[in-house]
Copies of this chain bind each other. A is one copy, B any other.
């Protein structure tokens, strides 16, 4: 792929900008897409929210499975995909595996998707680039 038709953006600018700032580099798109893909399933979204909203900060897999009409291996597979995307991590303690969120991953997505507060909505489509 080439991006010769688009304005070049420095890596530093691209790493921290939101969607409205500049076209994403191929590298950043390749980095972020798998994380979005991991969130692109309702079971995984619910699992992530169940873990993220737990006040104690971590959840036993034994508490997650009963909320779904799905088998333990299926839930474990979804949790594995969330883990591979860097959204959660886990540790086995005795019989059970405990999960917690890695908020830096969702922070990156939030930063990409959040429009700059200083740009009024009425000007959002006509602000200077």
Contact = CB atoms under 8 A, between A and B. Distances in A.
Interface of A: 1-6, 19-24, 26, 29-30, 32-34, 36-46, 48-50, 52-58, 63, 66-70, 100-101, 103, 106-107, 109-110, 113-115, 124-129
**Sorted from nearest, which 7 A-B pairs have the closest CB atoms?**
A37-B40, A57-B125, A55-B129, A29-B42, A36-B39, A110-B113, A24-B49
Given A33-B40, A40-B40, A114-B110, A46 B23 contact: yes
B56 A45 contact: no
A114 to B, nearest CB: 4
Contact of A19 (B4, B33, B106): B106
Contact of A115 (B37, B41, B46, B103): B103
So how many copies of this chain end up in the complex? 2
A45 B29 contact: yes
